[in-house]
Amino acid sequence: MKRLSSKRLFLLFSLSLTLVYFSERYFAHTAPHSKINQMRSAVLLTEKWFNLIIEEKKKREIPLFQINFLPYEGLIGDEYSEITTTLGSLEAKEISHNSQFAALMVRLISDAGIDSAGSVAIAVSGSFPSLTIATLAACQTLQCHVTLMSSLGASSFGANQPMMTWLDMENILQQQGGLRSRSLLITRGAEGDSGGGLPEEGIIALQKAVERNNQKLWIPKSLIESIEKRMDTLQEKKTELLINIGGSQPMLGGCVHGSTLPNGFHRTLQTCSDDDKGVLVRASELGIPVIHLLNINSLALKYRIINGKEEPEEIYGIKTYNKWFAVFTIVLIFFMFYKKR
């Protein structure tokens, strides 16, 4: 078979790039997403809830984080406290305090085929309270049935202030913001999901948070028991979509595979044979699609979430291409490739 010359290969490559450019520039059309109104409503509700938490922190004289003076920066917690579980990225926490994540969650939940009759389970740690708020706002806007499971420990700069844990935020939003969801399962988080590695004062602080919010704490005897408890809850509630926020151990599992799970929406995940594989993988094995929110930087880059005032086309729009131009492109490249062979 006659090989193409370097010159012809270069021309073919240049033509391909040119056609791709023209298809993007002149033959692509972006239409508003079918859920655009719900996206905007979820963003507004998220901003309302963000402000409620910040105002309540002021009333309770809980220190507000104010270094870069970004919108909603007051949601950020301390660098370290007695209920801090792991080190966290300040940059990631700042990025997560963006109300446009609520619009993204409306889109991803819709992509999963969930409507007002859908059953959604949300598993959260205290590490990204703003993402939890945005997700709950999206679900409430879409009128989903929500099962909320919360681990209270938090990484650096998350909901790690002892008097403003995730459970405190949840209660504030219920009492003052109209939040209709309430944690069904509450654990300490940290190692083994039972508070392993936390100092005694941290264990006491979490117990006090549960008591002042009139809730009950469940303490698993092992990581496997915590995983199985969550799986039982998913099946009991006939879960159609699982959303995970943060890096809680029962959700990711104890195996190395858990730390490499991809972010975003997935109909299936790569499985593994480890006995301590996490809830995300086990749910996927049952055919439950998942949304995993942990590497926020990459998600913000993918969907161009820059600031809370912009509506990224990657979220609010649906891009379509002229099919006849696509056919023309394929025929032209085919002709260039086979000519004079």
Cα distance between residue 304 and residue 313, in whole Å: 8
Choose among 242, 267, 268, 270: nearest CA to 256.
270
Cα distance between residue 88 and residue 94, in whole Å: 11
Longest dimension (CA), the chain: 81
Total Cβ atoms within 10 A of residue 212:
13
Low-confidence ranges of the chain (pLDDT < 70): 1-29, 307-309, 320-341
**Predicted local distance difference test score (pLDDT) of residue 69:** 79
Its pTM stands at: 0.86
* Identity of the amino acid at 208: K
**Predicted local distance difference test score (pLDDT) of residue 1:** 45
List the domain boundaries for the chain: 34-309
pLDDT, one tens digit per residue, over 122-161 is 999 999 999 999 999 999 999 999 999 999 999 999 999 9
Cα distance between residue 130 and residue 54, in whole Å: 11
Tell me the backbone φ, ψ of residue 222, rounded to 5 degrees. -160, 165
**Predicted local distance difference test score (pLDDT) of residue 117:** 86
Relative orientation angle of helices 166-176 and 129-142, to the nearest 10 degrees: 40
SS (HEC) of 183-223: EEEEECECECCECECCCHHHHHHHHHHHHHCCCCCCCCCCH
**Predicted local distance difference test score (pLDDT) of residue 259:** 80
pLDDT, one tens digit per residue, over 237-290 is 999 999 999 999 999 998 877 788 999 999 999 888 888 899 999 999 999 999
Residue identified by tokens 């729009």 is 317
End-to-end CA distance of the chain: 8
Q: Measured on CA atoms in the order 125, 232, 42, 305, is the torsion positive or negative?
A: positive
Choose among 237, 228, 136: nearest CA to 182.
136
